[in-house]
Structure 1
Amino acid sequence: MNDLYRKKPEECHYSFTQHRACEFFPCHKTDHPEDFNCLFCYCPLYTLGSHCGGNFVYLDSGVKDCSNCLVPHGRGSYSYVVKKFPELMELAKKNR
């Protein structure tokens, strides 16, 4: 069996990337820019609203403000986001 399948996602290169040349890097305030993950530049969990599990607020306008959220931007974020995919699939089914 391939060793790749024995590793946790966080041990593999595909689960973490940084784009330090990006004009917005890091796009959220962090004390640890070396651990900032750019893989989910636009959070796939945004559409889950209050079920995303992140640190967000709703503005008076109704817009979800994720400025203080680092959930999709940590070294372990890949596994968290992937575990939320069933919820995203259910949402997509409702919006066919």
Structure 2
Amino acid sequence: MSENYKFFNHKDCEFFPCHKTNKPDEFNCLFCYCPLYALGENCGGNFKYTQNGIKDCSSCMLPHNKNNYDYIMSKFKDILEVSSKSGK
């Protein structure tokens, strides 16, 4: 079975690539807005917090690596938990 659904490259996007990369052909745009952002320190990516406490993911390539689809999908249980707590 093909796994084409795990990768999408949108070179026509005016923001492509949104992060510096030496491999634009392998840049995955599927998770353009990272679903792991809400996990804060538990996302597993390369981030830092600004002086104002804002999460800065500009150096993170985790959602854009073509091999990380399964990792991101494995974190959806955690995303649901965070969103259900904040909804109360």
Fold similarity call, TM over 0.5? yes
What does 1:1-80 correspond to in 2, within 5 Å?
Answer: 4=1, 12-80=3-71
CA distance in 2, matches of 1:77, 1:28: 16
| Equivalent in the alignment of 2:75 | 84
Deviation at 1:15, TM superposition (A): 0.5
* Equivalent AA in structure 2 for residue 80 of structure 1: Y
Percent same amino acid at aligned positions?
53
The structure where helix makes up a greater share of residues is 1
TM-score by length of 1: 0.86
* Equivalent AA in structure 2 for residue 31 of structure 1: N
User: Deviation above 2 Å: which 4+ runs of structure 1?
Assistant: none
CA distance in 2, matches of 1:93, 1:64: 21
CA deviation map 1:4-24 (0-9, x unaligned): 3xxxxxx51111001100111
RMSD between aligned residues: 1.0
Deviation at 1:93, TM superposition (A): 1.6
TM-score by length of 2: 0.94
Deviation at 1:92, TM superposition (A): 1.6
User: Greater Rg, structure 1 or structure 2?
Assistant: 1
CA distance in 2, matches of 1:65, 1:35: 23
